[in-house]
């Protein structure tokens, strides 16, 4: 993507409100316009098309970035990092897949901002185990749900309750809470020098899933995928082929087609598929029991 393209920018934290007004002026594209511009970008490297695709989604970046405002980092930095993710998404977007750019870009924006947040905190690094990342993103909301109010220091009973629910130690919860408390001092800072009572947290309403919920779901999905992949790998070659073709592909072949492929009857293929599924299910349930997670088979 050309470096000569000019997008709205945030000069300072005081310029956020002006930035919001700027990005909300860009029109939202309909599906046909988006498809046409994406094709022009892919086939001709059209920088004007890229510019339009990016600017029409800048408000999406703002909405996502505001979900992370509670971690004490400058909103301007969160938006800037989100914009980087958006530009990467526009560059990689394939209009032939059939989905909208916003659906695809959302994950790139979240990934870019999340990485920035984690790298900005000395306690939580990208190489840190998933449980610590989950604690980082979950503690504040869990305290709110449990109506736990503190002045930066949790009582022993509070720390114990939170530790139990977050699968962490009391020491980990107490230390993370202190670190978050330091950053929380600026949560209610006004959006500008004007005395209008507007705070950063009031800028946008967002009813989407919370970040800790998203991370927990992603962590569990990744764990489940690993378990299932391991179980499938242990199948005999023919059963593995049938299972993967029938259960793990978007356009699954018919029993007749697989019967021709292996030179067996349709009923024999059905029997092999059922047996393979049963073997995978038993293996997965056994492994999942040990790991404390039960993958769902409805999609398989």
Q: String of b and e for 28-49 (b: at least 16 CB within 10 Å)?
A: ebeeeebbebbebbbeeebeeb
Q: How far is CA 49 from the centre of its chain?
A: 27
Helix axes 211-233, 101-120, angle to 10 degrees: 100
pLDDT digits (tens, 9 = 90+) for 223-257: 666 677 778 888 899 998 898 888 766 577 899 99
pLDDT band for 130, please (50, 70, 90 cuts).
low
Residues making up the chain, counted from first to last: 300
Q: Which of 22-26, 49-53, 61-65, 284-288 has the lowest mean pLDDT?
A: 284-288
> Which of 28-32, 110-114, 183-187, 292-296 tops mean pLDDT?
28-32
Identify the pLDDT of residue 180.
Answer: 64
Residue 216 has pLDDT above 60, yes or no: no
Domain total of the chain: 3
- Per the domain annotation, does 5 fall within a domain? no
Instruction: Encode pLDDT of 262-285 as tens digits.
Output: 999 999 999 999 998 888 888 877
Give the range of the structural domain holding residue 149, as residue numbers without chain letter. Answer: 130-195
Do 224 and 170 lie in one domain? The reply is no
- Residue 65 contacts residue 82 (beta carbons within 8 Å): yes
Beta bridge partners of 190: 199
Last residue of a domain, one of 85, 120, 155: 120
Q: Which residue has the higher pLDDT, 205 or 248?
A: 248
Is the residue at 73 inside a domain?
A: yes
In this prediction the pTM is: 0.47
My answer on whether 219 and 187 are in the same domain is no
Does a structural domain hold residue 287? yes
CATH classification at residue 271: 1.10.10.10
pLDDT at 195 over 90: no
Residues 114 and 23 in one domain: yes
User: Of 55-64, 204-213, 262-271, which gets the smallest average pLDDT?
Assistant: 204-213
* Cβ-based neighbour number of residue 235 at 10 Å: 20
Same domain, 89 and 140: no
């Amino acid at each position: 993507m050309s470096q000569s393209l000019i997008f709205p920018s945030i000069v300072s934290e005081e310029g956020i409100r002006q930035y919001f007004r700027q990005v909300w002026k860009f029109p939202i594209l309909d599906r046909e316009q988006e498809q046409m511009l994406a094709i022009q970008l892919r086939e001709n490297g059209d920088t004007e098309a890229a510019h339009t695709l990016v600017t029409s989604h800048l408000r999406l970046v703002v909405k996502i970035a505001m979900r992370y405002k509670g971690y004490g980092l400058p909103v301007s930095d969160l938006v800037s990092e989100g914009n980087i993710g958006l530009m990467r998404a526009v560059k990689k977007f394939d209009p032939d897949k059939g989905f909208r750019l916003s659906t695809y870009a959302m994950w790139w924006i979240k990934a870019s901002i999340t990485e920035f947040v984690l790298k900005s905190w000395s306690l939580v690094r990208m190489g840190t185990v998933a449980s610590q990342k989950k604690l980082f993103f979950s503690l504040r909301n869990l305290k709110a749900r449990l109506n736990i109010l503190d002045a930066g220091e949790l009582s022993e009973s509070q720390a114990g309750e939170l530790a139990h629910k977050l699968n962490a130690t009391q020491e980990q919860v107490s230390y993370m809470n202190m670190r978050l408390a330091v950053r929380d001092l600026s949560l209610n800072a006004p959006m500008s020098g004007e005395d209008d009572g507007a705070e950063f947290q009031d800028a946008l309403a967002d009813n989407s899933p919370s970040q800790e919920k998203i991370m927990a779901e992603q962590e569990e999905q990744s764990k489940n995928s690993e378990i299932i992949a391991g179980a499938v790998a242990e199948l005999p070659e023919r059963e593995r082929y049938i299972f993967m073709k029938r259960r793990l592909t978007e356009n699954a072949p018919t029993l007749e087609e697989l019967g021709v492929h292996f030179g067996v009857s349709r009923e024999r293929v059905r029997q092999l598929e059922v047996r393979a599924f049963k073997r995978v299910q038993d293996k997965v349930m056994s492994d999942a029991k040990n790991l404390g997670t039960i993958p769902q088979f409805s999609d398989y």
